[in-house]
Chains A and B, each alone.
Chain A
Amino acid sequence: MIKIDLSEGDNPVEQIKESLKIISRIDDAFDKREKISLDLSGVKWVLPCTVILISGKLREILCKGADVSYIPPKNLKVKEWLSDIGFPLGKTKDGSTFISIKHFANNLSNPNQVNEEANSMLKKIETKIPNSFGGSILYILGELADNIDQHSNFTHASLMAQYFPQKEYLDIAVLDNGISIPFNFEKNNISFKKDSEAIKKALSGEATTKKDEKMRAFGLKSCKDISIKGFLLKINPDPRIKGELHVVSRKGIAILKSSGEENFYDFGNVSLDGTFLYFRLPTPKNKIDIYSYLEG
């Protein structure tokens, strides 16, 4: 039995670390061909980052034949929310403030698959969030979908989004179980000392694995620019509203905050097979014009 203990509060970093430890235990149990039982009974607070990381892993091992069960939380609100968003296997129906968990497996015979999946997932997202987000969410999710499609060699990918009307921010979580940014850089002879440095290079747009093509490496950089500069500093100078972008890939993590603070470090004893991006985007006071962030 894997007991799930999660920190309470809105800070994603702690829950991301805890989720990676849980994933590591799930992987161990799966490698030993043990039945995987998760005990969520004590969980009182869970963030979308945790939901996507754990449900993505469960979905992946279920497809490989794992035997999985779980005890739901005793806390009724948490239990209901997990049910609403489709934990752990995903759900087609979305809520008024969320895109429920969506998982999909890679179909190599269909070059349009990621585009089709992304369209189906995102067609209603604009109805869940205030107009002031403009095209920013489609932009960010579109670029992430393309990154997964182009670079990751994933077998499974997952996504969810939750708008918090009281707190006035949107959480978006996107996960793939592909080759990770550091491994992709190693494959393409792009040097780095730590996995977190590889993430930093990817976010800065200074490294591309498509060296023979002009004007590449804009995807992650522009997502970072829109989410940090677009949402956090200019549109929302209110210090009470804190926005963040987290990127986890293999052993590295990048945490970029609204204050301009950037942290890059490697985990000691956990890692992620793949790449995870978690955006917390405050509701813009004025409609965001994404195009002004694409040209500089």
Chain B
Amino acid sequence: MKTKILLSQKFGNNIFTRNTISSFLEKIKNMKEAEIVLDFKGVKFISRSCADEYLKQKENVKKKITEVNMSQEVCSMFNAVKNQYEKAGFTLSFDVYSNTGKLIPA
């Protein structure tokens, strides 16, 4: 089963805090659906901390999570975090982003 969640409805236009993301992904872990689509429509900004937390926690959620409708601003933040990790010699599976920094359409 697949479900779609509109993030702006849950969090507002800006996502600022790690606690918001970690408690949200904890809830996703416990959902019965195996496939989750996160709709970023209406999310104007995500903080670096949140993007970082999202990418770390997403690895621990054993479900297929797909992101759609990410704005360029939000996409840039995820890619900035990704680049920070790469510079520090770490690897994370950022499977939704292309090497050019563009989001691969879901």
Interface size range of chain A in the complex: 20 to 34
Please encode chain A, from 101 to 135, with 1 for each CB lying within 8 Å of some chain B CB and 0 for all others: 00000000001101110111011000000000001
Q: Tell whether A162 is near chain B: CB-to-CB under 8 Å.
A: no
Q: Cβ of B45 and Cβ of A291 under 8 Å apart? A: no
Q: Tell whether A158 is near chain B: CB-to-CB under 8 Å.
A: no
Residues in chain B near residue A139, CB distance under 8 A: 45, 47-48
A146-B49, A215-B88, A219-B49 known; A291 vs B16 contact (CB < 8 Å):
no
Contact of A294 among B16, B56, B84 (CB under 8 A): B84
Q: Cβ of B17 and Cβ of A115 under 8 Å apart? A: yes
Which of B18-26, B30-38, B61-69 lies at the interface?
Answer: B18-26
Residues in chain A near residue B85, CB distance under 8 A: 214-215
A142-B16, A149-B17 known; A115 vs B48 contact (CB < 8 Å):
no
Name, among B18, B87, B88, the residue most crowded by chain A CB atoms within 10 Å (CB to CB): B18
Residues in chain A near residue B48, CB distance under 8 A: 139, 142-143, 218-219, 222, 294
Q: Cβ of A215 and Cβ of B84 under 8 Å apart? A: yes
Name, among B20, B83, B85, the residue most crowded by chain A CB atoms within 10 Å (CB to CB): B20
How many residues in B have their beta carbons less than 8 Å from beta carbons of A? 31
Residues in chain A near residue B50, CB distance under 8 A: 142, 146
Q: Cβ of B19 and Cβ of A115 under 8 Å apart? A: yes
A149-B18, A149-B19 known; A142 vs B49 contact (CB < 8 Å):
yes
Residues in chain A near residue B20, CB distance under 8 A: 111-112, 114-115
Residues in chain B near residue A119, CB distance under 8 A: 11-14, 16
Bound Cα distance A112, B9 (Å): 13
Closest to B19 in A: A111
Closest to A123 in B: B13
Per the 8 Å Cβ criterion, residues 44-80 of B in contact with A are 45, 47-50, 52, 56, 73, 76-77, 79-80
Residues in chain A near residue B16, CB distance under 8 A: 114-115, 118-119, 141-142, 145-146
Least CB distance, B85 to chain A, in whole angstroms: 6
Q: Cβ of A295 and Cβ of B84 under 8 Å apart? A: yes
Per the 8 Å Cβ criterion, residues 1-16 of B in contact with A are 11-16
Q: Tell whether A261 is near chain B: CB-to-CB under 8 Å.
A: no
A119-B16, A139-B48 known; A112 vs B11 contact (CB < 8 Å):
yes
Q: Tell whether A10 is near chain B: CB-to-CB under 8 Å.
A: no
Residues in chain B near residue A215, CB distance under 8 A: 52, 81, 84-85, 88, 90
Least CB distance, A288 to chain B, in whole angstroms: 13
Residues in chain B near residue A120, CB distance under 8 A: 12
Least CB distance, A205 to chain B, in whole angstroms: 11
Bound Cα distance A115, B53 (Å): 14
Closest to A138 in B: B45
Closest to B83 in A: A295
Q: Cβ of B17 and Cβ of A114 under 8 Å apart? A: yes
Q: Cβ of A294 and Cβ of B49 under 8 Å apart? A: no
Closest to B85 in A: A215
Residues in chain A near residue B83, CB distance under 8 A: 295
B residues in contact (CB < 8 Å) with A: 11-20, 22-23, 45, 47-50, 52, 56, 73, 76-77, 79-81, 83-85, 87-88, 90
A/B interface sample: 5 pairs, CB < 8 A = A112-B17, A114-B17, A291-B79, A291-B80, A295-B84
8 more A-B residue pairs beyond the given contacts A115-B17, A145-B17, A294-B84, with a C-beta to C-beta distance below 8 A = A112-B17, A112-B20, A115-B11, A115-B20, A119-B11, A135-B73, A143-B47, A295-B80
